[in-house]
Each structure stands twice: as C-alpha cells, then as structure tokens.
Chains A and B, each alone.
Chain A
Amino acid sequence: MFGGGEVAYYLSKEFIEGGHEVLVIEGDPKKSERLEEALGDITLRGNGCRIQCLEQAGVSRADVFIAATDADEDNLAACQLAQIKYKVPRVLSKLNNPRNRNIFRKLGIENTVDVAALILENMKAQIPTFPLVRLSELEGEDLEVVQVRVTEDSGMAGHSLGETRLAFLADASCLVRSGESPRVVDASTSLEEGDSLICVVAHGMMERLEAELSGQPD
C-alpha cells in the first residue's frame, strides 16, 4: 500500500486479521509511527512513486498494490509503476478528484475508488427523495448494482414494471418492499410507492436510467 492515512490503517488491519502480509509505504514519520504503534512493523519510510523505494519494498512480489495518498498524481505514478514495471497482478487507486476517473482508465489504471462519489452515494442512500442510488460496481464486469426507488413523483407507483419506462429492469432486479421478503421481479410485478428495486445494470445503461428517472413522469 502506498499512503498511510485512514484508508491504509483500516485496510491493513483487515488484511492482517485475514492472515495476509502487508507493507505500507509512507513518507510522513508521524503517520508511519501511528500505524506501527497500532499494527506492528508494517511500514516503510519512503515515497511510493520512487523506483528505489518500490524496489526496496519488494513490490514485484506483491499480489495487490493499493495507492491511497491524497494526491492523485502520486497515486497514478505509483500505480503505473506497479502495474507496468513490476507487473503486480491487481492494482487499484483511491481517487481524490472524481474527474480523474476517466483519466486513470485511459492511462491503464482500470480500478479506482472514487472517495467523493462513495460519500455522495452513501448520503443519497439515506435520503429517500433520490430515485437512483449507485450501490456498487462489479469490478471487471462493466456492471453496476443500483437501487431505484419508486417515489411519489416517479409515475411508477400503481403500474406494473412492464408498463413503465424502466421495463428493461425486469431482466435482473429484485423487489424490496417494507414488511415483505425480497423477491425477483418480472414485467408483471406491480409497483407501490416506497418500493425499491435492486438492479444489476450494464454500465452503458446508467445514462439512460439517469435520464428516465430525472425526466418528468408521463
């Protein structure tokens, strides 16, 4: 791991508890001391964008490399080195600026975690007026798991899913209704206000879904 902040602390803890070997590269002595006090001898003082440091860390033996600093340019540089020069099989990066997601993808770093988006979606999940919440992304599959809420203004309540503009969700969705057990939907499932659909949708469908849900009801 490169960057010894909060993310590194909690991740390291879980990795160690899972019996894995962890090394955290951190330049700030205060941060690495704090990590060592809590988790033992797991840090290397240095800069994970530097080849000398990565060599010393033995990064070519790593199964996973995670860049989690607060600077996206450092995360990018370190991930590119880990992936291309040291052939680490799984490389992922924390993203501080959501706009960099596309840049990282185009520069070969496919797996990123957008911190701002995570917070945003978590907040939206707790505010019932938002009709669409992104719950998770299925890595490597180009699929997303989303929650679609049947709200008062959605125009969907009182209709069967097949009659709505979101009929295409009938293929891979699960209905969650308060007080009932979740069940798999089909086109004939009738919707009520307050229902949620948990759906697996292709990444390419997200724009359509967003447009349908933000548009005025028929």
Chain B
Amino acid sequence: MNAFIMGSGRVASELGTLLDLEGHKVTLLDFELSMFDNLPAKFQGRTLAGDATDEEFLRRAGLKNADAFIALTRDDDRNAMAAQIAKHIFGVPKVICRIYDPPREEFYKTLGLEAISPIMLFARLVKGRLED
C-alpha cells in the first residue's frame, strides 16, 4: 500500500512506523522537516515538508498514486480540508481523518468522509469495558 499521512505527532509517527515495518510505502507530511525529529529511528519512509492542504504540494508529493490518505494533525479544520482534497480531487480510494470535536465527526460522516473522533472512540471503548 502507498500511504500518505498528514501530521508529525505521536499517532502519525506510530502509524507511519507500523505501516513502514509491514513493508508499505509511507510518506509523512508536515510543515517543517524538523517536526519529524522525534520519529522512531527505525522509520525508513519518506518525510516531506509543505502545506498538506495545498493542492499543488500534494500533486508534487505524488498523491494521485496513493492508496490511502490519513489526516492526523491536531487541527480538525486542516484535517477535514486535506481529507476532502485527497478524496474528491485526487480520488484517493481510502481516506481517514481525525476530527476531535464529536459533533463535527458526525457532520463529516454525513459528507461521506471517514472521520474518527478520538474522544468518542475512547469514550465508547471505556463504556464497553464497563459493560463487560
């Protein structure tokens, strides 16, 4: 799989490294290359500096050949915009975005985006454990 991950935080780094170790082609995108300084040393994938809501940057990064795009920055608005660009402009088959704000997770789902709110995810998980 050719996966593009937007973000350089812990989830982005962990996911990128997991996919990389499984032999997938991974590209991490964020504003500055220095933002990737904390990546695990074993990560062998590609890192690119630029604005992942910029169509031209994504084109140069080769997004049209991607199998998956995952938006994992801390900013819901940037995640939602980049995910929609990946899905509707580049036609990436699998697009997932993190949306912290639970009501907006719902909204973006109605737009056909695969949105995940970590808050709701964890709340449901804990609730499930309580009910076990």
A77 touches B103 (CB 8 A): no
A99 touches B55 (CB 8 A): yes
Point out the residues of chain A lying under 8 angstroms from B81, CB to CB. 72-73, 76-77, 103
Question: Smallest Cβ distance from A107 to chain B, in angstroms?
Answer: 5
Point out the residues of chain A lying under 8 angstroms from B75, CB to CB. 73
List which B51-102 residues lie within 8 A (CB) of chain A: 53-56, 75-78, 80-81, 84-85, 88-89, 101
Point out the residues of chain B lying under 8 angstroms from A97, CB to CB. 54
The answer, among B56, B103, B111, for a CB contact under 8 Å with A80, is B111
Say which size band chain A's interface belongs to. 20 to 34
Point out the residues of chain A lying under 8 angstroms from B84, CB to CB. 103, 107
Which of A24-32, A48-56, A140-148, A180-188 sits within the interface? A48-56
What separation, in Å, do the CA atoms of A181 and B90 have in the docked complex? 51
Indicate if A71 sits at the interface (CB-CB under 8 A): yes
Point out the residues of chain A lying under 8 angstroms from B101, CB to CB. 50-51
- Max chain B C-beta neighbours (<10 A), residue from A72, A77, A84, A99: A77
The answer, among A73, A84, A99, for a CB contact under 8 Å with B80, is A73
Indicate if B104 sits at the interface (CB-CB under 8 A): yes
Q: Which partner residue on chain A sits nearest B79 by CB separation?
A: A73
